[in-house]
Amino acid sequence: MAFTFKGGIHPDPRKNTRKTPVVQITPPASVHIPMSMHIGVPCTPCVKVGDVVDKGQVIGTIPEDRLGCPVHASISGKVTAIEERCTGKDGAVCTVTIENDYQNRIAPGVAPFEGDARNLTSEQIVKVVRAAGIVGMGGASFPTYAKIEGAIGRVTGMIVNGAECEPYITANHRLLLEQPERVVGGIKILLKALSLRSAVLAVEANKIDAVKAVAALDFDPEMIRICVMKTKYPQGDERRLIHALTGKEIPAGKLPTDIGYVVFNVETCAAVYDAFVTGMPSVERIVTVDGGCVQSPANLLVPIGTPVRDLLSYCDTDVDRIGKLIAGGPMMGRALCLDDTPVTKGTSAILAFEKREALKQQKTTACIRCGRCLSACPSRLMPREIYRAFLKGDTEKCSELSAPLCVECGSCSYVCPAKLDLTQAVSGAKARLKAIKRTNVPPPKQEQIEQTKNICSPEKS
Ligand code: SF4
Ligand code: SF4
């Protein structure tokens, strides 16, 4: 029996690229590398315009005592600009532009780890992972060294997330299928860092070929147990994954480590492996490119900072037909307004939808009290009730209904036959409660109602 959680939905998987091997993109003419691609403090550029840099060279630094990790050049070339640019997240971010010299020079410091890998200490692993600038590559972008540090001595279970439950995205699937040894190698290093004996690799049932590719490797099956998960969205959500595998719930406001677990994405594990085996820091990633405007959907290995425009062009995209451009999956991804937005460490997919695909907004009707939103919510919330409370400006009620537990998965809106924008209302309530907590000043109710008029169609019941 496949493992799963309560709630969730079954959107059309549209894994069009599941059989498309990863290809290296034509080297970009230039890259725009943001100094903030992680949760924490942004880096400060340590290069200046005119400098010649090598691939893997540090170009952004951060004090040792602050949360965050360094940023590296993803190609060799000349720094031509250091300026604020829109990166599609957090508004404008300081970004270093490097013009490619096509020499592919590797920075002198990039070399395999010299010590005896069998005797690695937790401290050594944390140091190497931090220096390599590795962040959670499933999309969260939390610095991996900090996750390891926070888990040392506190966890008894390590879960490796290969669920990849969002429609369209197949980057993790192809990595597991084509280079399982990098993932397994990274898992072994992370186990060592945490002084654990075994990990669980969670993969959805629609990737059985990937499961076989991993199982075919020579490793102790007691050390890495492969668990096949039911194909369901949002199976890859950390809390859902832990619950599905262990039956344990993470209490509100707590983290996985608080109940003894830590979760790493499969591509993060591969990046950890690279940091030790080749010494190459986090300078590239696999990106799925798909959507109605993309004629040749693909999985591309691209340098961090490559403009999205280059990926679209490589995949024969009719850019004039694009109605919506998304970084990440269609359920939880974020809309991009510019196609020269760069690929960051957290970009798992670029989806280019046609105008008609993007026009999801249909006429809303009154709630028919079918309860589907309730059954679909993986956080076991009452989306309809929160929606109603939010429209009334009743933040107290939103708090009572635990709106902050929403993971913004979109499942409630997806199933609602009345086409009510439940997700936007619940995430709006969550944001409002967070703002109140920060400032301690509740907003005037009427003002909140006015704000919601633009984003939600009032329910008539
Ligand atoms: S309320 Fe939040 S967590 Fe629940 S289904 Fe809707 S978006 Fe997902
Ligand atoms: S909000 Fe939508 S899904 Fe929820 S009970 Fe009403 S009609 Fe059904």
pLDDT surpasses 50 at 237: yes
Alpha-carbon distances, residue 275 vs 57, 346, 425, 451 (angstroms): 13, 18, 42, 47
Q: Using pLDDT thresholds of 50, 70 and 90, give the confidence band for residue 24.
A: very high
420 lines ligand 1 (CB under 6 A): no
| Ligand 1 atom with minimal separation from the 410 CA | 7
| Domain end residue (candidates: 252, 277, 302) | 277
Whether residue 66 lies inside any domain: the answer is no
409 lines ligand 1 (CB under 6 A): yes
Higher pLDDT: 219 or 71? It is 71
E strand or H helix at 159: strand 157-162
| Ligand 2 atom with minimal separation from the 366 CA | 7
Q: Using pLDDT thresholds of 50, 70 and 90, give the confidence band for residue 298.
A: very high
CA 348 to chain centre: 7
Beta carbons within 8 Å of 381's beta carbon, 6+ residues apart: 401, 402, 403, 405, 406, 426
Average pLDDT for 263-291: 97
Residue 86 confidence (pLDDT)? 81
Residue 191 confidence (pLDDT)? 97
Whether residue 38 lies inside any domain: the answer is no
- DSSP bridge pairs for 23: 300
Whether residue 253 lies inside any domain: the answer is yes
CATH at residue 272: 3.40.50.11540
Q: What is the pTM of this model?
A: 0.91
Q: Give distance in angstroms: CA of 333 to centre of ligand 1.
A: 15
Residue 253 confidence (pLDDT)? 83
Please tell me the total count of domains within the chain. Answer: 2
Average pLDDT for 84-102: 87
Do 381 and 259 fall into the same domain? no
Average pLDDT for 434-459: 55
Do 125 and 271 fall into the same domain? yes
Q: Give distance in angstroms: CA of 447 to centre of ligand 2.
A: 26
Residue 427 confidence (pLDDT)? 93
Average pLDDT for 430-446: 73
What average pLDDT is seen over the chain? Answer: 91
Do 134 and 261 fall into the same domain? yes
Whether residue 262 lies inside any domain: the answer is yes
Alpha-carbon distances, residue 190 vs 121, 159, 193, 196, 258 (angstroms): 11, 11, 5, 9, 19
Q: Using pLDDT thresholds of 50, 70 and 90, give the confidence band for residue 460.
A: very low
CA distance 74 to 104: 9
φ/ψ region of 335 (left if φ > 0, alpha if ψ in -120 to 50, else beta) reads beta
Query: Ligand 1 pocket check: which of 250, 372, 374, 377 to mutate, most ligand atoms within 8 Å of Cβ?
Result: 377
The protein residue with its alpha carbon nearest to ligand 2, atom 4, reads 373
Q: Give distance in angstroms: CA of 406 to centre of ligand 1.
A: 5
The protein residue with its alpha carbon nearest to ligand 1, atom 4, reads 377
Q: Largest Cα–Cα distance of the chain, in whole Å?
A: 68
Query: Whole domain around residue 447: which residue ranges?
Result: 372-453
Of all ligands present, the nearest one to the C-alpha of 412 is: 1
Alpha-carbon distances, residue 330 vs 158, 182, 298, 375, 416 (angstroms): 28, 28, 16, 21, 17
Whether residue 430 lies inside any domain: the answer is yes
Specify whether the CB–CB gap between 230 and 163 falls below 8 A. no
pLDDT surpasses 80 at 53: yes
pLDDT surpasses 70 at 445: no
Write out the DSSP string of 79-118.
EEEEEEEE-SSSSEEEEEEEEE-S--PBPTT-----S-GG
Q: Using pLDDT thresholds of 50, 70 and 90, give the confidence band for residue 1.
A: low
Closest to 394 measured CA to CA, from 436, 448, 326: 448
In the chain, % of residues over pLDDT 70: 93
Do 165 and 271 fall into the same domain? yes
The protein residue with its alpha carbon nearest to ligand 2, atom 7, reads 367
Residue 311 confidence (pLDDT)? 97
Q: Give distance in angstroms: CA of 381 to centre of ligand 1.
A: 7
pLDDT surpasses 70 at 90: no
pLDDT tens digits, 133-182: 999 998 778 999 999 999 999 999 999 999 999 999 999 999 999 999 99
Do 161 and 270 fall into the same domain? yes
pLDDT surpasses 90 at 115: no
pLDDT surpasses 90 at 440: no
Do 268 and 380 fall into the same domain? no
Q: Give distance in angstroms: CA of 93 to centre of ligand 2.
A: 39
Q: Give distance in angstroms: CA of 326 to centre of ligand 2.
A: 27
Do 129 and 273 fall into the same domain? yes
φ/ψ region of 145 (left if φ > 0, alpha if ψ in -120 to 50, else beta) reads alpha
Residue 454 confidence (pLDDT)? 43
Do 265 and 148 fall into the same domain? yes
Within 6 A (CB) of ligand 2 lie 367-373, 384, 415-418, 420, 422
The protein residue with its alpha carbon nearest to ligand 1, atom 2, reads 406
pLDDT surpasses 60 at 457: no
Closest to 180 measured CA to CA, from 118, 262, 267: 267
Beta carbons within 8 Å of 259's beta carbon, 6+ residues apart: 242, 248, 250, 251
pLDDT tens digits, 338-364: 667 999 999 999 999 997 776 555 688
Write out the DSSP string of 177-240.
HH-HHHHHHHHHHHHHHTT-S-EEEEEEGGGHHHHHHHHTS-S-TTTEEEEEEPS-BTTTSHHH
E strand or H helix at 71: strand 71-72
Q: Give distance in angstroms: CA of 88 to centre of ligand 1.
A: 23
Whether residue 162 lies inside any domain: the answer is yes
Specify whether the CB–CB gap between 230 and 13 falls below 8 A. no
pLDDT surpasses 50 at 114: yes
Q: Give distance in angstroms: CA of 23 to centre of ligand 2.
A: 43
| Domain end residue (candidates: 242, 277, 312) | 277
Q: Give distance in angstroms: CA of 254 to centre of ligand 2.
A: 29
Whether residue 282 lies inside any domain: the answer is no
Within a 13 Å sphere around the CA of 371, how many CA atoms are in the beta-carbon half? 1
| Ligand 2 atom with minimal separation from the 387 CA | 1
Tokens of 293: 């405007």
Whether residue 350 lies inside any domain: the answer is no
| Domain end residue (candidates: 231, 258, 277) | 277
CA distance 18 to 168: 9
Query: Ligand 2 pocket check: which of 362, 365, 368, 424 to mutate, most ligand atoms within 8 Å of Cβ?
Result: 368
Tokens of 346: 């957290």
The helices-and-strands tally (H runs, E runs) of the chain is 15, 17
Of all ligands present, the nearest one to the C-alpha of 415 is: 2
Amino acid residing at 378: P
